[in-house]
Structure 1
């Protein structure tokens, strides 16, 4: 990519998409385009094909997806698999038919088996059963990876897939039921502070380990890989790349960090009658580290930035 390249970001208003827009603009890229859902429904094949035929983007970041936490995935499984397959299929095929030079597809770490060995390396894809609660979403993302690889093999395209760990940052979803753990806890601690509640209750023991990555670090990784990772010489179509911090924290440590950032002075208690979920979920990011990329934003600094965003934009 050069600064005059026409770059289309699908999902430019989302968590990673908005970070991509900010970073590309800050780096001097002059031709970054996006479309809101009101302007173009990505599940509508005709509209997507017409857009690509008219705009002819040279590079595409496919950051658009229907996403949510365990509750949302469990409640709306049909919507999660249908919407994500439609979006991916339309954009990847339209990119090929309109000569896009390179595409970056964003997946999710939930593609790996529920009982994958830790840390999870790229080779464990399709090596076991998925977590049932988000299986429809995971299957859609796996299909996206295989679709990119298949187009690379058959058509000689240069489509890469990146698998992020748990993401957070400006533009996140803070819905009390449909958000992920970090933004959900930010909201819960903030409301407890405002309402002078004596305690915040966390499900389980607080012992499960999770990995988190700031959204702008994720955007930096996508841009880095778009500039440096070429799969055109790989006869298998190119392996996907894990993107994470490589650092894990317990849910208890996460809650204590958020409590400190928010300034909540009440008690933190754990409901031992509730399940812990998967004991550990950490990506092996050695492949990306060997390429020369590492995260820049540490957890507490990122949480501070996320909380500022919540105060300005996140309250429902």
Structure 2
């Protein structure tokens, strides 16, 4: 396969990668894009270590709209588990970089789109005055599903844990201008300012890249996450998807990142067979 994603490297070693799909009107996470990500990092591994990494979207309408649900739904359980594992491995190549990494959010970042962004150390968002607000969040529970690439672990580490758990368990999203405190590391008022803001973050945080996982439930925040879960768990919906989110968070608290994302995959594969998920997915596909 030939690499079709654009990238560049500045003289001081900052690498930028643009996510785009010439055959689609918006960027979604599908097998083609996962293969492209692996190919990009295979090539990057042959080059000098970057001083920083910037993840951008080449699409003016979205950052990443989410995963390709039709492609996912066509897979059997074994193939879906393998697909989710491959995606996790691709995203881990971002979080395992030894340099600082930043995602530049120009527009909508939902589901897997937010999950790949949160594998970067920093999130920089463009919120342009007068523009229609774009949405950000993990809406999977609204389709009877749960996140499959670490969302239950990363969102509570970037904002108030109780609110994060509640929103993931209900499938809620925010408009970017109403996003919770802490979710974005920097906000700019024009899309043209995103790259400069990303570089500023990289140069101001030279040590954030030196860790084995993305920002997630860990020893630094586990008590806050535990307390947040206790404060909201009785108010969560009595649905299979909300139960799955709670279980994944509990596993993250008790066992850490690797066990939790493995649990997410297992739970997601099972959830798609529930009557609630089937009904909502079929309604979603009918609108397409």
Under a length normalisation based on structure 1, what TM-score does the superposition of the two structures give?
Answer: 0.28
| Higher Rg of the two aligned structures | 1
Query: If each structure's helix is expressed as a fraction of its own residues, which one has the higher value?
Result: 2
Under a length normalisation based on structure 2, what TM-score does the superposition of the two structures give?
Answer: 0.30
